[in-house]
Amino acid sequence: MRRMLAGALVSGFLAACSSAPQAAEPVVLRVLMADDWSTVPVIGEVIEDFEDEHPGVRVNLQGSPFSQIPDLVTSAIDLGQPHDLAHWHAFAAAAAGLAEPLDDLWDEAGLDPADYLPGAFEGVSWRGSVYGVPLDTNALVLLVNRDLLDDASVDDRELATFEGFREAATAVVAGSDADHAIVISGSSWAAYGWIVANGGELIEMSDSGPVRFTFDDPETVEAMELLVDLVRSGESPPALAPDLATDAVASFADGGVAMHASGSWDLPIARRAMQAEFDVDNIGVLPLPQDDPSRPRTVLGGSSLFVPRDAPNAELAFELALALTADDVALRLAEQEGRLPARADVFDHELFRSSEDLAAFVEQLPNAEVMPLIAFPEIAAAFRDGLDDLLAERSTPKAALGQVQAYADRWLEENG
């Protein structure tokens, strides 16, 4: 009897436990961002506020080298554990089949493509659909040391065209203390900036039509011939690999070179380094030399947020993306981190008018275009190889780009 009674009490206790309300498991948003973003205080504060506004939601933020993010997203999808939000180039993620279309969520949130810089919206669009939210922007421009240009009697107008820039490079080396006019980078992103500035293009495509690669177009070849000629003449040292960018900005900052093609991230570095030897306002910011100065073009830098395919919490992730890209957050990122916004109205703030060189960067952003090769990694790799060959003078620009064109044509035949 005692055993039966004890059993009944235990059964009753277990039944009571099972019927008691259980604490809900928190919703965990898995977010993947570039490591130099994941540790930014502003980002952490936005996530804390988001969690406070969404009880029961926790954000698991993972940092990674930017270039490794697509592989990490792919692996997580293959394992059946996709991230909820990721940071990269949304258009390229869409091209690789890694991103969810967000047209409906854009409509529900009342987002308007016209509110963004043209290149920023281009960076989240693929084949007529929207796949992300623009996060930040940048543009390739020409930083110049005005003291060295003055010593060589070179003014800004001479740098407006390719022909004038080439003559100015010779004048700077001959008439100033600079060892070189400029340092040419082996970066394919920077090379694309020179190509579009000369009126060239690497891809022709529409929302629904076929893709055509155009590596061997005369404007593209001509732009690369200019870079090779600068190296061959000694007006640039041998081209530096992209990972030696700090050496290039150091040469510019100490007066070893008079010009430096870069984005806004190098401005504070160069300015601090120049203070010991040059006037603090000695840096000028100009457009790249242009084929048609009345219609300037350059390459867009920046990134976006996208929702990976099969994300379990897509709507919540999109809401977090909106919080991370809000205008007030973009302004704080500009003030504290030097990240330039993607929404045009943010540039009306006094911050972007208080600095002449920053204002000059902002002026070029509407002219900046996404590098479309990012959406075609195999072709992008072939272009990098061709760029290495022509800058090292293992091949002429025409021959090297012709080989890239042949590879791209074969790839299209095989992949459609």
Stated pTM of the model: 0.88
Q: Let me know whether 36 and 129 are in one domain.
A: yes
Q: Let me know whether 241 and 377 are in one domain.
A: yes
List of residues 6+ apart from 76 with CB closer than 8 A: 30, 82, 83, 308
The answer to the question of residue 213 being in a domain is yes
The answer to the question of residue 14 being in a domain is no
Predicted confidence at residue 23, as pLDDT, reads: 55
pLDDT in tens, 292-332: 999 999 999 999 999 999 999 999 999 999 999 999 999 99
Domain range enclosing 353 = 27-137+301-363
Token look-up 């954000």 returns 59
Judge contact between 35 and 65, C-beta under 8 A.
Answer: yes
Rounded to an integer, what distance in angstroms lies between the CA atom of residue 414 and that of residue 311?
31
Rounded to an integer, what distance in angstroms lies between the CA atom of residue 400 and that of residue 396?
6
Q: Let me know whether 116 and 169 are in one domain.
A: no
Predicted confidence at residue 2, as pLDDT, reads: 44
Work out the mean pLDDT of the chain and round it to a whole number.
90
Q: Let me know whether 171 and 218 are in one domain.
A: yes
The answer to the question of residue 16 being in a domain is no
The answer to the question of residue 202 being in a domain is yes
Strand bridging mode 257-262 / 180-182:
parallel
Judge contact between 289 and 197, C-beta under 8 A.
Answer: yes
pLDDT in tens, 81-117: 999 999 999 999 999 999 999 999 999 999 999 999 9
Judge contact between 160 and 253, C-beta under 8 A.
Answer: no
Q: How many domains does the chain have?
A: 2
The answer to the question of residue 171 being in a domain is yes
Per-residue burial over 43-65, b = 16 or more CB atoms within 10 Å of its CB, e = otherwise: beebbeebbeebeebebebebbe
Residue 359 structure tokens: 């204002």
Choose between 124 and 253: higher pLDDT.
124
Nearest one of 24, 32, 14, 26 to 68, comparing CA atoms: 32
The answer to the question of residue 17 being in a domain is no
Q: Let me know whether 118 and 166 are in one domain.
A: no
pLDDT in tens, 126-178: 999 999 999 999 999 999 999 999 999 999 999 999 999 999 999 999 999 99
Predicted confidence at residue 16, as pLDDT, reads: 46
Q: Let me know whether 105 and 237 are in one domain.
A: no
Q: What percent of the chain has a predicted confidence (pLDDT) above 70?
A: 90
Given 346, 363, 380, which residue is the final one in a domain? Answer: 363
Q: Let me know whether 219 and 144 are in one domain.
A: yes
CATH number of the domain residue 66 falls in:
3.40.190.10
pLDDT in tens, 262-281: 988 887 777 776 665 555 56
Predicted confidence at residue 3, as pLDDT, reads: 45
Q: Let me know whether 262 and 395 are in one domain.
A: yes
